[in-house]
Amino acid sequence: MGNVGTYARSLTDEALIKIMKLCTFIACKLNMPLDPIISAILYTLQHRPETAIRAMSEMAIAASEKCCLLFESLWEPLFELLNVTDEFTELIFLALTSAIANCRIDDITEPFNYFLEFIKDNTELSSLTFELFAVCRLNRPEFEDYAPILESLVKKSEISAGMFKFLTSFSITSLNVNLILSSIVAGTTPDIHKEALNCARNLLLSLAENALLTKLISKVRPVLINSVVQSLMDARHQLGFSRQASFLNEAFRLGELQEDQNYIKEFYASLIACSPEPEQGLFQHVAAHLDHIKENKVDFKESLRDFLLIMRKATPYQIGTFFGDDQQEEETATFGELLEEEEQVRKSIVMSTNALPQIQ
């Protein structure tokens, strides 16, 4: 282990990352000194910075509960690099994410406070910041205490996928529901619709499990439904149909479970607000039909698709033009990725029966 530095210099990038991770794991498990490993990674940081930063991400995970000891000498060079160049910003944030997520906040007070000050002064990195806290929150519940700081950052930042990962990972009892709603509405644009819809789904499911559901759902659900319907009815918006259809299907089914039929009126009102009816009574018929078949997700999706083809004056042969991105996403997503996504959604629903934020 003492020769790890000399040995590491002759390795390829990928081999070096694996060796550093393995050495870190062994040293931590056997209570061996970490100094040789730290010296090796600091040397690598000077001569092969990208490889060193990638290795740090893996080493933090391998160190586990001893991560705070490993990073005692690594925080400062990482922050220095973050301040002097933007070449490795994303990689540095990944390394910081791994390190912070594997440390107790009480053990890293000084570097963590420095990081909090850094993000306040660098709001252009807010998306990366949101993603960091989303990961850390899923690993450590105490990160819930930092929701107010991140809320203030949301107000200053542009809508991003990272923002929705944060909003989905934290409990709605710690966040301003109005802020979540306004972000979701602004976020149903093609480039970040996936995370916005995940956030909307999380909010709806969280409210459905809360004792104050009846009071809040009547204010929240119409906004969410209207936002999704506006996106679907916009002929220029050709992304995310599958997720949007799934969200509407869940909204319908949750309404039925709660014995609240207003979701049909909310869906119909959103259609009327978006477009004139091509034929009198069409929107009412569509709303009633979708409600009738809501228990069959496939039929629901296909009926909604056919309705949109009519509204866009398209032919069935143009389905790929409108919804091709969904087919590609379904083809490329592995079963493991789908399971991981479900697990993230499950973990993110952290609910409380008290202190639910009020919507004015």
Count: domains in the chain? 1
pLDDT of residue 188: 57
CA-to-CA distance for 62 and 85, rounded, in angstroms? Answer: 27
Output phi, psi for 119, to 5 deg.
-70, -30
CA-to-CA distance for 185 and 320, rounded, in angstroms? Answer: 26
In a domain, 348, yes or no: no
Amino acid at 303: S
In a domain, 318, yes or no: no
Return the half-sphere exposure (C-beta side, CA atoms, 13 A cut-off) of residue 138: 21
In a domain, 60, yes or no: yes
In a domain, 86, yes or no: yes
Return the half-sphere exposure (C-beta side, CA atoms, 13 A cut-off) of residue 284: 3
* Spatial contact of 229 and 271, defined as CB atoms under 8 Å apart: yes
Domain extent, residue 92, equals 1-121
In a domain, 21, yes or no: yes
CA-to-CA distance for 200 and 54, rounded, in angstroms? Answer: 33
pLDDT of residue 158: 81
The pair of structure tokens assigned to 27 is 């040293």
pLDDT of residue 357: 38
DSSP string, 11-43: S-HHHHHHHHHHHHHHHHHTT--SHHHHHHHHH
CA-to-CA distance for 324 and 240, rounded, in angstroms? Answer: 9
CA-to-CA distance for 3 and 36, rounded, in angstroms? Answer: 8
114 in helix, strand or coil? helix
Query: Could you identify the residue written with the tokens 């697990």?
Result: 343
Return the half-sphere exposure (C-beta side, CA atoms, 13 A cut-off) of residue 322: 23
Amino acid at 222: P
pLDDT of residue 321: 55
Q: Which H, E and C letters describe 36-81, residue by residue? A: HHHHHHHHHHHHCHHHHHHHHHHHHHHHHHHHHHHHHHCHHHHHHH
In a domain, 16, yes or no: yes
pTM (global) more than 0.85 = no
In a domain, 6, yes or no: yes
56-87 core/surface letters (b: 16 or more CB in 10 A; e: else)? bbbbbbbbeebbbebbeebbebbbebbeeeee
pLDDT of residue 350: 35
Nearest to residue 227, comparing CAs of 207, 209, 205, 251?
A: 251
210 in helix, strand or coil? coil
Residue 330 CB partners (closer than 8 Å, separation 6+)? 242
The pair of structure tokens assigned to 43 is 């040397």
pLDDT tens, per residue, the chain with 360 residues:
545 555 666 788 999 999 999 999 999 999 999 999 999 999 999 999 999 999 999 999 999 999 999 999 999 999 999 999 889 999 999 999 999 999 999 999 999 999 999 998 898 999 999 999 999 998 888 899 998 888 888 888 887 878 888 888 888 778 777 777 777 776 655 555 677 777 887 887 777 776 655 567 777 888 888 888 888 887 665 567 888 888 899 999 988 887 778 899 999 999 999 888 888 899 999 999 999 999 999 999 989 988 988 887 655 555 565 555 555 454 444 434 434 444 443 344 333 333 333 433
pLDDT of residue 186: 67
